[in-house]
Structure 1
Amino acid sequence: MVGPFKTAPGDYTHIFMAVNKFTKWIELKVVTSIESAKAAQFMEEITHCFGVPNRIITYLGKHFTGSEFWDFCKDNLINVYYSSLPHPRYNGLRTQKSQATGYTPFFMVYSSEAILPSVVAFGTPRI
């Protein structure tokens, strides 16, 4: 889930986002509210297109801990795992430059700076 954003035409304020860990395919859906039922509906749409996943890795947002989402996952035999908040600094990715090298540890390992999926999805300018 990404947002809240400034209200868009149609009263959209948030985006549900799913990323396939193997192919890195991104699915997005704009929503007017962040309820457990909306998260379950988003996952149902994904299962209609791509099949039922074995597991979902998410964070403890109220929309992913509500009964509608849990019921959907239970009915479809989807295991739900929780991780840290969806931000590089919360997931242990070191993004502060080293005084010795002038590069971040992430850059030294991956030859690229860490960026959020929302930056990729919306084309936010990078400085």
Structure 2
Amino acid sequence: MDEPDFVVLPSNPEEAKKVQKRAARFTILNDELYKRGYSQPYLRCVEGEEDKYVLEEVHGGICRDHIGAKSLVRKIMRTGYFWLIMQQDAADFVKKCDSCQRFGIPRTIISDNDRQFNSQKFRSFCSGLGIKNRYSSPSHPHANGQTEVTNRTLLKIIKSRLVGAKGTWPEELPSVLWAYRTTAGTPTGETPFSLTYGTKAFIPVEVGLTSLRREFFDEQTNDDQLKQNLDCLDEVRDQASQRMTKYQ
């Protein structure tokens, strides 16, 4: 991205002041424009075909999981990209996605053992719709809710990917799991991958459109940082567990 020779400010003093204030949060690194972020140190600014590519790759690419607009924006920013109207663009993109508009009656419901789910009235209601009831183990009551959320998320991703390709779910499963493991969960604020390995995973969009950490990658520095992250991983997991407890 070429840096302009000059910037024309609005003639209105108040508007010019706003532009100057906003401009202070942007910088040029290796001829690319970045925004100094709050969630990430630097967010690469994209525009035109680039932001369209980011939306398509994160939402419906190789590791697609067809998440909602807010989750889509959050995942894009965690990956290191930004543009001015990304929230509106994400909302419009999700609305136009055919796979995200399909709804139907589930074959099986996996729930915890609370009375509202484990009652004759509820079981009769499900039976009338041809829905099978499954219940998580009562020996792990704290895991009931998280198990239900995880299963529901995985089933949603699998269904969205199998539109028009029935019977191929074994081939799709690795990509589905990868999409789930690289998406931050609302209760924990972390991705399953980062809670396992102590670092964020590279996702395909960062290869197609170079992210900041790929641009400045250094193998030795990266190895040292990975080891440090692993040393601090127990603390990160404890914090995620506390956030999940508060969320529930």
For the pair shown, the structure with the greater C-alpha radius of gyration is 2
> Is the helix fraction higher in 1 or 2?
2
TM-score, normalised with respect to structure 1: 0.35
After TM superposition, the score normalised by the length of structure 2 is 0.20
